[in-house]
Amino acid sequence: MGKRIMIVVGSPNEHGNTRTVVDWVAAGAREAGAAVEIVDAARLRYEVYGCQACMACRGSDAFRCAVDDEAADVIARMPEQDVLVLATPIYFWGLSAQIKHVVDRMFCLMKSSEGGYKLAPGLKDVRMAFIATAGGGDDWGLTLAESNVKAVAGFIGGGGGKGFTSLLVPRAHSEQGVRESNTALREKARAFGKELAS
């Protein structure tokens, strides 16, 4: 059986650069035998945006956000994956609001306990990866956002020993876009997907 890969896309533009690169990555992973689920974070049904710090998840034995909406369903399935990929365009030197809505609510996947914290069963075995596109160079927020996601991966265990990896795409201007004719980038993205599936 192939790997289970969930890609959460945090772009409001469903035909934009980030989604194009994600589709290429998914195609490569599927070619390598993976089952890929693409979640469009911008189009999930939300009851609230981002974590509300209600702490209701702390009063439950379930590793699930207490807010009952589509985002909670997606987050609850994350520990069942072999690979979790967060994908975002870079907006104003950081992660998009759409991906942050999901990332912040991932707080429910851990519980504080005396002497530390406990993770949702299976989460520490999930490998994390990151895809980002930006209009500028690497210094236009790509590496800053990458370090943020890498820190999340290290905290939940999905990077330590499991090989956190990223695909950063600089100079993907919205007016120019990532074109199908960019065969070098398309092949790099497909190879990234195949590596995630291996």
DSSP 106-122: GGGGEEEETTEEEEPTT
User: Structural domain boundaries of the chain?
Assistant: 4-197
Residue 1: band (very low, low, confident or very high) from pLDDT cuts 50, 70, 90: confident
Superfamily of domain 4-197: Flavodoxin domain (3.40.50.360)
Phi, psi of 63 (to 5 degrees): -95, 75
Look at the block and give the residue holding tokens 């993205």: 189
pLDDT digits (tens, 9 = 90+) for 42-99: 999 999 988 999 999 988 888 899 999 999 999 999 999 999 999 999 999 999 999 9
pLDDT digits (tens, 9 = 90+) for 105-157: 999 998 877 777 788 888 888 999 999 999 888 777 999 999 999 988 887 77
Using DSSP's 3-state secondary structure scheme, residue 70 falls into helix
- Residue 53, Cβ density class (10 Å: 0-12 exposed, 13-18 middle, ≥19 buried): exposed
- Do 22 and 89 form a contact (C-beta atoms < 8 A)? no
pLDDT value of residue 8: 98
Q: At what angle do helices 97-105 and 70-77 cross, to 10 degrees?
A: 60
pLDDT value of residue 177: 63
Model confidence, pTM = 0.94
Residue 91 CA: distances (Å) to CA of 14, 31, 95, 97, 137: 16, 31, 6, 9, 13
Mean pLDDT in residue range 9-28 = 95
Q: How far apart, in whole angstroms, are the C-alpha atoms of residue 1 and residue 22?
A: 22
Give 120-138 as a DSSP string.
Answer: PTTGGG-EEEEEEE-SS-T
Residue 35 has pLDDT above 60, yes or no: yes
pLDDT value of residue 19: 95
- Residue 1, Cβ density class (10 Å: 0-12 exposed, 13-18 middle, ≥19 buried): exposed
Residue 174: band (very low, low, confident or very high) from pLDDT cuts 50, 70, 90: low
Of residues 156, 79, 78, the one with CA closest to residue 110: 156
pLDDT value of residue 156: 79
Residue 158: band (very low, low, confident or very high) from pLDDT cuts 50, 70, 90: low
pLDDT value of residue 159: 57
In eight-state DSSP terms, residue 17 is: H
